[in-house]
Amino acid sequence: MSIPMRPPIAGIVLCALLAPAAWAEPNRLSAAVDGDHRTPEYTARDAFRHPMQTLTFFGIRDDMTVVEISPGEGWYTEILAHYLRDSGKLYAANYDLESEQEYYRRNAQRFLDKLAAEPQLYDQVVPTVFDPPAKLDAAPPGSADLVLTFRNLHNWMLEGSHEEALAGMHSALKPGGILGIVQHRGRPDIAQDPNAGSGYIREDYVIDLVEAAGFEFVARSEINANPRDTRDHPEGVWTLPPGYELGDLDREKYAAIGESDRMTLKFVKKP
């Protein structure tokens, strides 16, 4: 798919001053974010991932049906499962146990083992498979109020399956449902690699991709921005923590930068 570049959209900034009734009760979300059920290594990254602010920006409520796309090791799952357990529903659309790639099979099983080990937290989570382009049944069609994907779009671009991935998320959502995307943000002055080999994607490029899939762009937030990130590292985004792809080489330099600069974008499925 050929998508024309356009300059970054001006004047669309976060003005998330919604009435209190429109938001999930803050103390319930705080309890899910700050609870001692979370893995300590995960909570240490809250300073870069800002889960409370991010989920609030996306408009989450505890009675929603939510789909988490490619939860990986369950960083956000620990929060979402706790928050949605009593009144909502969480579909965890993860890797395929039958994948041809051993990495995906291993991580899919590890995630399922995590859910099974703590039924008091995860017994209401519904595991599904999301493996574009072939397997896209993240949730029943038209069932989700909110679909969330965190730092996954570059992987689908690398595999050439981003169109199918976006179509699958579109299918899962109700008309008017919300798609929340957090993604490593590329420099606007550099032409976009269509394979996103560095892990970074231009923000305007992401907006064009998602709009082409039948969504309407609603708002952006700088919650997960990191102005220290120059976004031009030898091993792409994986140069930075937590990956440290270069090992000990310039480790202090990259630790001082912190995790990647990220866009936080909110879309709705057109009626």
Half-sphere exposure of 208 (CA within 13 A, CB side): 16
70's CB contacts (< 8 A; 6+ apart) are 93, 94, 95, 130, 149, 152, 155
pLDDT of the residue at 26? 63
pLDDT of the residue at 25? 59
146-163 pLDDT, tens per residue? 999 999 999 999 999 999
214-259 pLDDT, tens per residue? 999 999 999 999 999 999 999 999 999 999 999 999 999 999 999 9
- The overall average pLDDT reported for the chain is 92
Query: What length is written for the chain?
Result: 271
7-18 pLDDT, tens per residue? 444 444 444 333
pLDDT of the residue at 115? 98
The average pLDDT across 172-199 equals: 98
**How does strand 173-184 pair with strand 215-221?**
unpaired
Q: What is the pTM of this model?
A: 0.90
Q: List the CATH code of the domain at 23-269.
A: 3.40.50.150
